[in-house]
Amino acid sequence: MQSVLDAILAFTNWLWGIPMLLWIVGGGLYLSFRLGFLQFTKLGFILKNTIFKGFGKKAENGKFSSWQAVTGALASTLGAGNIIGTAMAIAYGGPGGVFWLWVSGLVCCCVKYSETTVAMKYRRLNKDGQWEGGPQIYLTAGTGWKWISPLYAVVCIVCLFLAASAQIGSSVDNIVGMGAPRLPVTIIMTLLVAVVVIGGMKSLLSVTERLVPAMSVLYIVGTLIVIILNIQNLPAAFASIFRYAFTGRAAVGGFAGAAVTQSIRWGVARGCYSNDSGTGVTTITHAVADVNHPIQQSMWAVFEVFFDTIIVCSLTCFVILTTGVWQQGNVAPAIMTATAFNNTIGNVGTFIVTISVVLFTFTTACAQIEFTEAQFRKLVGDKLSVGCRWGMLALILVGGMVGIDALINYVDFFAGIYTIINLLGVYFCVNQIVKLTKEYFADPQKWETQKWPKWVEEEKEYADAHVKQIDEIASKE
């Protein structure tokens, strides 16, 4: 058994090195080229028409707004990866890992834009009149390959079972680090997650639209305070990122030495783990948004990656590098960020990190359970998929007891597999993505008032079917 686990670990380390660099970053560069590097050329337009225009906006008639949808997606992306995963990138990959995290983040803006675009194109109305979409739908619909969506769903389910457990495991690790007993904390966290997920997507988005802004502000303000108090070390920290990106240097004392491949492996893996680009899972929440054209929601996907990786992860990196905590060999990656805060602003810093980790991982675990159930519905139908929630809640108990270090490599293993599957389908749909992009940007103002024809037709078909069903019931009575 141990030899199998060792083989999985070795394969995972290999996969998340050069192969995933080529598959995600290389593929992302290709998408960027085909889309005119819109994450740079249209960034101003994107920010103007997302966060500066739609912050806090709510939809009418029981639908979900773009803002609500993106908070659900951010609930998944803003998790342990931003605080603990980023620390792991530095601990195991050295400061150079930050460079590769940035590279993956900038390129992955187009990856998430693309997967959100196909998710929006192929989304459909469910029996309750709500939009639903994601890889479980668009992979087969976009490629015509009947096998790809079910295969993705199976691998995704296994990965998210582990990932949700790892999120709660990291949360419990931090609370236990403050002296709390592990078992009661794990039980309480599991019960809180259960309260949210039992209500489904509506309950999830009602929670995330409130928690995501609050937890983001709390953490960002805390990191800025720590960085400012160590501002004299910022130039050297910034320089070390580029110095070690192509030479490699890991944390001293007890951590594995880092060559360039280690910097790439941990930088790319933690970048993708943080923003979920290429996995397809966050498109499940993007797909519920009430917008007039697919690209209007895809622009929010660009903002999501930019905010998650380029802003939040970078702040964590500079906290760790400017405080020098990464060079203290007795500090484990799971508590490295908390240690940096504590060394600078004392117990207040520890409190800020702990609360941030708890909120980040709590919302991520809730979102991942919703994503997993979406895959279950695709495979086994609505009735049987309900049991998925309870199975994941049971595994969250396990994750809380064992912690994130015991699970993270296995999360990486399955995440690598389903990312390969998802991006295979997305890359196949590149011409469709380019066509929709050109259609929208040819006249963005047009889509402020006019709805995409395909959605108008589908909504009419749903309304007609609903009326017919009511008439049939009435006639029987």
Tokens 């933690």, located at residue? 270
Q: Where are the domains of the chain?
A: 2-438
Whether residue 447 contacts residue 440, with contact meaning beta carbons closer than 8 Å, is answered with yes
pLDDT at 253: 42
pTM reported for the whole predicted model: 0.85
pLDDT at 323: 94
pLDDT at 255: 44
Cα–Cα distance measured from residue 90 to residue 96, given in angstroms and rounded to the nearest whole number: 7
Cα–Cα distance measured from residue 288 to residue 115, given in angstroms and rounded to the nearest whole number: 14
pLDDT at 469: 65
pLDDT at 270: 66
- Nearest CA to 216 among 347, 308, 309, 103? 308
The string of pLDDT tens digits covering residues 105-136 is 888 899 999 999 999 999 998 887 889 999 99
- Mean pLDDT of successive 10-residue stretches along the chain, which has 477 residues: 77 81 89 96 92 65 73 70 78 82 88 96 88 93 94 87 79 78 87 80 76 86 95 93 74 48 68 79 89 95 90 92 86 82 90 83 80 77 68 77 70 88 97 97 94 90 72 57
pLDDT at 419: 92
- Nearest CA to 255 among 109, 85, 403, 91? 91
Fold of 2-438: Amino acid/polyamine transporter I (1.20.1740)
The letter for the amino acid at 458 is E
Cα–Cα distance measured from residue 115 to residue 135, given in angstroms and rounded to the nearest whole number: 8
pLDDT at 173: 77
Query: Which pair of tokens denotes residue 30?
Result: 């290709």
Cα–Cα distance measured from residue 312 to residue 218, given in angstroms and rounded to the nearest whole number: 11
Tokens 């988005």, located at residue? 205
pLDDT at 93: 77
The number of helices, as runs of H, and strands, as runs of E, in the chain is 25, 2
Q: DSSP 3-state helix, strand, coil percentages of the chain (rounded to 5)?
A: 80, 0, 20
Cα–Cα distance measured from residue 431 to residue 427, given in angstroms and rounded to the nearest whole number: 9
